[in-house]
Amino acid sequence: MMINQFNRRGFLAALGAAGTVAGTAAATPAWAAGRKPYFTRVGRPIGVQLYALGEAAQKDLGGTLKKLSAIGYRDFELPGFYNRAPKDLRADADAAGARFNCIHLSMPNRLPPGGLGLMTGTQELADALNTLGIYKAVLPVPLLPDSFDPAGGRKALLDGVVAGGLDMWKRLADTLNERGAALKPYGIELGYHNHNMEFRPQDGTTGWEVLLGRLDPKVTFLELDLGWITAGGLDPAAELRRLKGRVKMVHLKDVKASTKTNYELQQDPAECGLGKFDWKAVLTACEAAGVEHYYVEQEPPFTRDRFESMKISHDFLARFVA
DSSP string, 153-184: HHHHHHHHHHHHHHHHHHHHHHHHHHHHHHHG
Are 25 and 271 spatial neighbours (Cβ–Cβ below 8 Å)? yes
CB atoms within 10 A of CB 152: 14
pLDDT of residue 27: 57
**Three-class SS of residue 8?**
helix
Q: What is the pTM of this model?
A: 0.90
pLDDT at 110: 63
- The tens-digit pLDDT sequence of the chain (322 residues) is 333 344 554 445 444 433 333 344 455 566 566 789 999 999 999 999 999 999 999 999 999 999 999 999 999 999 999 999 999 999 999 999 999 999 999 876 566 667 899 999 999 999 999 999 999 999 998 988 777 777 888 888 899 899 999 999 999 999 999 999 999 999 999 999 999 999 999 999 999 999 999 999 999 999 999 999 999 999 999 999 999 999 999 999 999 999 999 999 999 999 999 999 999 999 999 999 999 999 999 999 999 999 999 999 999 999 999 9
AA identity, residue 284: T
To which H or E segment does residue 211 belong?
helix 207-214
For 195, 292, 315, the CA distances from 33, given in Å and listed in that order, are: 35, 26, 17
CB-CB contact of 224 with 236 (8 Å): yes
> Across the chain, which distance is largest between two alpha carbons, in Å?
58
What is the model's pLDDT at position 240? 98
Could you tell me which of 284, 282, 287 has the C-alpha nearest to residue 253? 282
**Does the bond joining 301 to the residue before it have cis omega, within 30 degrees of 0?**
yes
Please say whether the beta carbons of 318 and 39 come within 8 A.
yes
- Strand partners of residue 225: 251
Domains of the chain by start residue, with CATH: 8-18+35-319 (3.20.20.150)
Specify the pLDDT at position 15.
44
CA distance 75 to 295: 8
Contacts of 12 (CB under 8 A, 6+ apart): 51, 265, 299, 300
> Rounded CA gap, 158 and 200, in Å?
11
Q: How many whole angstroms separate alpha carbon 209 and alpha carbon 242? A: 12
Considering only CA atoms, which of 280, 277, 223 is closest in space to residue 246? 223
- Please name which of 171, 160, 117, 162 lies closest in space to residue 139, comparing C-alpha atoms: 117
